[in-house]
Amino acid sequence: MYKGKRVSLVFPAYNEGKNIEAAIKDFQSIKFVDEIVVVDNNSRDKTPEIAKKAGTLVVLEKNQGYGFALRRGMKEATGDLIVLCEPDATFSAEDLPRFLSLTDKFDLVTGTRTNKRYIRSGANMGFFLRVGNISVAKFMQLLYGLNNVSDCGCTFRVFKKSLVEKIIPHLSVGGSHFLPETVVLSKLAGGKIIEIPVHYGPRIGESKITGSFRRSVKVGLNMLGTILKNKINPPKLM
């Protein structure tokens, strides 16, 4: 619990058996976390069994896709503050207190993996991915009048439950380009948003989103399409 507010953590999980237990224990060690929701997205390994044994709430999301898994987790989470993260060792619980400390003034605190000081050796954030993330983020910043943003695809972020309740009915992306949609809808809903640097390390296992050049380009184009769609035909969220 953080300042009287319950904190829920959501992990989307597809074949994350190699690191899911370590990730859960990492965040369980942070006294602020009250609930961990693991969304099993049709894993073929022992991810759900390991997560249950580690003391988390495990729910099955049959619709395959990163966005579908995160949307399900956001619906299942019961906390006043909802944290999205990944259980693949790229992120660390050590950064969570910095996120939570900003929720007094902001409705959405997002991470950025593009700050060179925070990129750890071996992390999948080479020149192409870094420039691509920054470029799409700046496009989103320009279109929506956001404060300085430099990463369009960092999973690690914290929402106030009140903001989640506003945007959930309007979330439409089930794939890998889900994250920019949450930012633009949060802005359209009147949410106060801030971005902070987050430590980013090497992944355990293969990335399902940016594991190849072609896949990265496709995700980036889909992100741009989502950003434009909501600008041209914005939903009524206020």
Q: What percent of the chain has pLDDT over 90?
A: 93
Does some domain include residue 34?
A: yes
State what percent of residues in the chain have pLDDT above 70: 96
Does residue 65 fall inside a structural domain? yes
User: pLDDT at position 1, please?
Assistant: 95
Q: Please indicate, yes or no, if residue 128 is contained in any of the structural domains.
A: yes
Is residue 1 domain-resident? no
Per-residue confidence (pLDDT) for residue 59, from 0 to 100: 98
- Residue numbers of the domain that contains 20: 7-232
Provide the number of structural domains found in the chain: 1
pLDDT higher than threshold 60 for residue 210: no
Q: What's the pLDDT tens digit per position in 81-114? A: 999 999 999 999 999 999 999 999 999 999 999 9
The residue-averaged pLDDT of 6-29 equals: 97
**What local confidence, expressed as pLDDT, does residue 188 receive?**
97
220-225: which pairs have CB atoms within 8 A and are 24 or more residues apart?
A: 220/132, 220/136, 222/175, 222/176, 222/177, 223/136, 223/152, 223/153, 223/177, 223/179, 223/180, 224/136, 224/139, 225/177
The string of pLDDT tens digits covering residues 124-153 is 999 999 999 999 999 999 999 999 999 999
Q: Does some domain include residue 100?
A: yes
Domain membership flag for residue 18 = yes
Q: Quote the pLDDT of residue 207.
A: 61
Residue 237 lies in a domain: no
Whole-number pLDDT of residue 212: 64
CB contact at 8 A, 9 and 83: yes
User: What CATH number is associated with residue 138?
Assistant: 3.90.550.10
Cα angle for residues 151, 155, 156 (degrees, 5° grid): 95
- Report residue 236's pLDDT band, with 50, 70 and 90 as the boundaries: confident
Inside any domain, residue 115: yes
pLDDT digits (tens, 9 = 90+) for 61-83: 999 999 999 999 999 999 999 99
